[in-house]
Amino acid sequence: MKRTGPVLLGFLVGMLMLIQYFTPNRWIEARYNNVLDWKQVVFGVTLILGVLSLLLHHGRLIRRRASGWGYSWVTVAGLSVMIVAGVLRGKEHGPYPWMFEYVQSPMQATLFALLAFYVASASYRAFRARSLPAGLLLIAGVIVMLGRVPLGEMIGFHAGERFYSLATLSDWVLAVPNLAAKRGIMIGVGLGMTATAIKIILGIERTYLGKGA
């Protein structure tokens, strides 16, 4: 029961969601809609579960006075303020939207902006043309970078009445080699996803169920 039950449920639900694509049958379509709704509720609960485990994790750090437990207090405090504000004053006014607008948003945006600095230092320290492939990567990168900004678009030459600039070259790199590369990868990964999905439905792939499945 502990093992065949979930796998059987998975097979039935998986086949239903697969078949619905090919039949206009009203009953199957209705159940397809149900499964989509149920799936969203389950995902919502799972996400809440994730946050609970974060709370437990930081709670343990505080209890064990592990290193940096002071910072765990800050995390638990931030979490509690948001939940209390959200429940009492709702999502639309009071501290909840204010904290999102002036605490969470700027910090999340700034953390991402740090990457501009990391990319710069990586460009200087890590991006070496060690081999032909790495060299091609850098040349394509430089062409695209220069060709996509106003300054770079002005560098070029006139041939006949058309002006060929770095932008034309960068458009070509994006529309031909880059397109072929992304398409080649996409086809391969698409096959991989399909194979994994089939294995899950047929119960061959059970690792996601954990020990003893």
Site for other proteins in 86-145 (CB under 8 A): 86-87, 91-92, 96-129, 132-134, 136-145
Q: Which of 25, 83, 88, 164 binds other proteins (CB under 8 A)?
A: 83
User: 161 to 200, contacts with other proteins by CB under 8 A?
Assistant: 167, 170-200
In the bound state with other proteins, the residue whose beta carbon lies nearer, of 151 and 159, is: 151
Q: Which is nearer to other proteins, 126 or 159 (CB)?
A: 126
Q: Cα(4)–Cα(209) distance, rounded to whole angstroms?
A: 11
Which of 25, 36, 59, 88: binder of other proteins (CB under 8 A)? Answer: 36
**Min. distance of Cβ 13 from other proteins in angstroms?**
5
d(CA 144, CA 166) in angstroms, rounded, equals 8
Question: Residue 147 in contact with residue 167, Cβ under 8 Å?
Answer: yes
CB–CB of 165/156 below 8 Å?
yes
- Per rule CB under 8 A, is residue 23 in the interface with other proteins? no
Site residues for other proteins, 47-66, by CB under 8 A, read: 47-55, 57, 60
Give least dist CB 160 to other proteins, A. Answer: 14
Contacts of 132 (CB under 8 A, 6+ apart): none
**Residues in CB range of 51: below 8 A, 6 or more apart:** 79
State in angstroms the smallest separation of the CB of 72 from other proteins.
7
Computed on alpha carbons and rounded to an integer, the radius of gyration of the chain in Å comes to 26
Contact between 147 and 171 (Cβ < 8 Å): yes
